[in-house]
Every structure is written in structure tokens, then in C-alpha cells.
Structure 1
Amino acid sequence: MMATTNDLKNGMVLNLDGQLWAVQWFQHHKPGKGGAVMRTKLKSVMTGKVVDRTFNADVKVDIAQVDKRDMHYLFHDGNGYVFMDSATYDQVTIADDVVGEAKDYLLDNGEAMVAVNDGQPLYIELPVSVELAVEYTEPGLQGDRSSGGTKPARLETGKEIQVPLFITAGEKVKVDTRDGSYLGRVSG
């Protein structure tokens, strides 16, 4: 699908020279002399590399059709991560490198948004936060609730994060999937 650089939006995926790039940021810029330009920050869908690129305004760009589907993570089968489409119940295996760091937050039957282009899974979008059980952490010291210190904790997915000293093994915690930060204790 063709569009112009004036139609750019954050999250849009462009096909530039056979590679897919997600628009992370853009700004229309009119210098004192010459024509207007569109400054962009683009992230490679395949490698995650971020580049700055400037286009002349009104230049035609190829917008990739990206189909985002709600899926449930089922299991890892040795070849990749197996997901099931929530609408069609079709199963798809997604390579380890496509799943990337999202694996640190995936639980069996956990929900994820899978972006697909021409049948090829591109990347996985997780909810902003997930609830995971603490598998192991050193016991906290009694009365050490107010110091604001942290300690490492291994989550049920194997991911290690920093948690407050009062968190104990077996508790569920809320974790930010964007940076792995502790957001709070899950009660109940």
C-alpha cells in the first residue's frame, strides 16, 4: 500500500528496500530555505536496530500490511514458541529470535499480540504489565520494610528482576514488560 511521508503515524510499518521498519517517532520540519522534510526514528522489525531517517515531505513510501492478532502462548516445542490464534484456533510456531525478550514474560496460555506480514510473524507485543510468581529470592530481614532496598528475585519464567526486600518466594508480583521493573505485589 502506498502513502506519502505526510501520512506517517507512530507504530506504522514501512517497507523500505525490502526491509520492514516501524515508525517510532516522526516530526514535520520546515527549514528556512528549501522544502519541508519529515524526520523519523525507525526501528528495524527484524533486528531491533533504531535509525534516524529524513524524508522529503510528500515522498511516496510503501506501507507494509501488518496484521495484529490476539494469540495465546501454548508451549515451546524445541523449534520455537507455539501460539494459538484466539479467533481461528490456528496454531503457529514463532522462532526464538522473533519472540526475543518477550520470552521472559510468557506463561502458558498467556496473551500476546502477534504482528504478521504476509504470513510471517514479525514481532510480539505483550501487555504493558504481567503478573508472575517469584520462584526464588533470598529471605528478607524482619523489620526491613521501610529501607527502600531491593534484592534479586527469579521469576517463574527464569527472568531475574529487582524486588523490594519484603517480597518472598511464592508471592506474585506485577512486572513492567517494557523494562522488567517491579510494579507491585499482587494480593490474593
Structure 2
Amino acid sequence: MNLKPSLFDKRGDDKGRILFDEKRASHKLAVELVSLMPDGLTRRPVVFVCIGTDRSTGDSLGPLVGTLLEEKTVSPFYVYGTLEDPIHAVNLEAKLKEIREKHFNPIIIGIDACLGRLKSVGIIQVGEGPVKPGAGVNKDLPPVGELHITGIVNVSGFMEFFVLQNTRLNLVLKMAKTIANGIYEASLTYHPKNSWSNLKVNWDREQTT
């Protein structure tokens, strides 16, 4: 859970901010996500790290997204963090180490819930830079990702842990579905234009003509 609302409530800048139930919300998320990912010469694996725990309703956004993505085919993406196998404060560093051992130089996209202004509840933010789990509750946890997807699930400013425990699951689940559907749509369209394999195919064709 990222409790730093200032990172996601910048006035006058709506780029990458999507209301979970607005028209074509998942499509807009997919477009925004793909636009931020490298489309040139790269074979870096894309890894989504879904942070949170099912022990707190408000903090279950990440693992809900991970579980929903498990039910879909999102190749060429990799997904870590589900309701069954969550990534949270206790195991975050170990999980990040495991991911970096499995995937060479991955593009990591952190997914997490956050708290913000009342008018921003229900907003999904897609942008550059990491999520910072525990930043608002004085937990020294590593930042996660080159890119982030965060969902503002409730209001910040007072008794955050109580607020998280009393966040409506209905809202969190709907936001998770929008995010998961957006990532699925992105998986159908994200193909780096000039991968090494494409270059090899083009080179072979040139040599036979």
C-alpha cells in the first residue's frame, strides 16, 4: 500500500489518470501503458509485480489484479503477486530478488493500492517511476518498478490502517477488473517493433534475395 497521495493527485495533469468505471476505461489504460513501454530494439521481459495482501480489503487491489491476470493469457507478460501467493511488506525484498534472478534485466511494472483525496477515489494512475510500498507508514521498503499502476481506493489523512480495513471490496474488485482487462488488452498489442528475432528474420530475407 502506497499512502503517498501527493504522487497521484497533481492538479492540472490528468494524463494517465483513468476513472475505473468511465467509458472504455480498460482500453484507455492499455493505450497509456503501451505508450510508456519501450517499442524499439528490446527483448527485456515485462514483469508485473502486484503488491498487497488479502488480509486488508483496501490493500487487496494488487493481489486481486494478479489473480485475475492468472485467469487470462497475457503473454508476453509475466505476473507475480496473487491472492494465493501475495507480495507484501514481509516478503517484498525476497520476491524482487527472485524475479531478477529469473528474468534478465526485466521491465518491472509495480501495481499497488493507494489513498488520496476524496474526489480522486476510484482513479487509476498509470505512469513512469516506481510505486513506493509503505512510504506513508514509515516502512523502509524498496521502490518497485520503472512504471506503475496504482488505484486510489479510499481517502487519506487520518487512521489509514482503519480506513484500509473498511474500504469496500466492491470498489476494489471493480478497479482490479479494469486494471486486469487493460493489461490483457495491452498484451494483445505490445510487440516491440524491432526485436532481435525480427532483425534476424529481416537479415535472412535480405541474404536470400
TM-score under structure 2 length normalisation? 0.20
Larger radius of gyration: 1
- Between 1 and 2, higher relative CO (CA 8 Å, sep ≥ 6) is seen in 2
Structure with the largest fraction of strand: 1
Structure with the largest fraction of helix: 2
